[in-house]
């Protein structure tokens, strides 16, 4: 009997990423962010989520991808971590994807070394590769 898992999917620079559904608190439209002086550049700022102040991590910068085109507002995938809620700024939200465990493989060697450190593995789907993001490693060094 094959075990299946569900992932909240999103896109960054044409790549398809996923985070375990149980780690996702919510997915929200672009929010006004407040920059934090002297913060690392991967910190996109702070957002006010119904009175809760949440740090927003710019995944493009964190994964060393090209800058987002001007005028393209990032979407927010709010995840629960050991540190509390954190927003991951992504290009576009996908669907909930269900995959079988036997489809799991190590991260592709074609990824940049820094990016590969934050990817736990990949799932080969019919139309594309789903990269499983390690949210704790994204947050720890971000």
- Report domain extents, the chain: 7-141
pTM (two decimals):
0.91
Q: Given CA atoms 62, 92, 132, 16 in this order, what sign does their dihedral have?
A: negative
Query: For residue range 100-121, what is the model confidence (pLDDT) as tens digits?
Result: 988 899 988 888 888 888 999 9
State the greatest distance between any 2 C-alpha atoms of the chain, in Å, as a whole number.
52
The alpha carbon of 15 is separated from its chain's Cα centroid by a whole number of angstroms, namely 11
Which tens digit of pLDDT belongs to each residue from 53-86?
999 999 999 999 999 887 889 999 999 998 899 9
- Backbone φ and ψ of 59, nearest 5°: -65, -30
Confidence of residue 142 (pLDDT cuts 50, 70, 90): very low
Q: Which two tokens stand for residue 58?
A: 């710019």
> What is the bridge-based pairing of β-strands 43-49 and 119-124?
unpaired
Q: How far, in Å, CA of 56 to CA of 89, rounded? A: 6
Please tell me the distance from the alpha carbon of residue 129 to that of residue 121, in angstroms, as a whole number.
10
Instruction: Tell me the CATH number for domain 7-141.
Output: 2.40.50.180
**pLDDT at residue number 54:** 96
pLDDT tens digits for 16-32?
999 999 999 999 999 99
Comparing CA positions, the residue from 22, 21, 23, 32 lying closest to residue 54 is 32
Phi, psi of 23 (to 5 degrees): -90, -15
- Residue 57, SS3 per DSSP: strand
Provide the pLDDT for residue 2: 58
């Amino acid at each position: 009997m094959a075990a299946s898992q569900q992932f909240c999917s999103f896109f960054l620079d044409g790549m398809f990423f996923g985070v375990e559904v149980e780690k996702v608190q919510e997915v929200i439209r672009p929010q006004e962010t407040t920059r934090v002086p002297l913060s690392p550049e991967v910190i996109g700022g702070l957002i006010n989520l119904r009175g809760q102040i949440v740090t927003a991590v710019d995944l493009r910068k964190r994964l060393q991808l090209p800058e987002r085109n001007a005028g393209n507002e990032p979407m927010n995938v709010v995840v629960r971590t050991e540190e509390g809620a954190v927003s991951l700024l992504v290009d576009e939200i996908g669907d909930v994807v269900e995959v079988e465990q036997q489809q799991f493989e190590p991260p592709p060697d074609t990824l940049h070394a820094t990016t590969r450190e934050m990817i736990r593995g990949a799932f080969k789907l019919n139309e594309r590769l789903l990269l499983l993001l390690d949210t704790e490693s994204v947050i720890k060094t971000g």
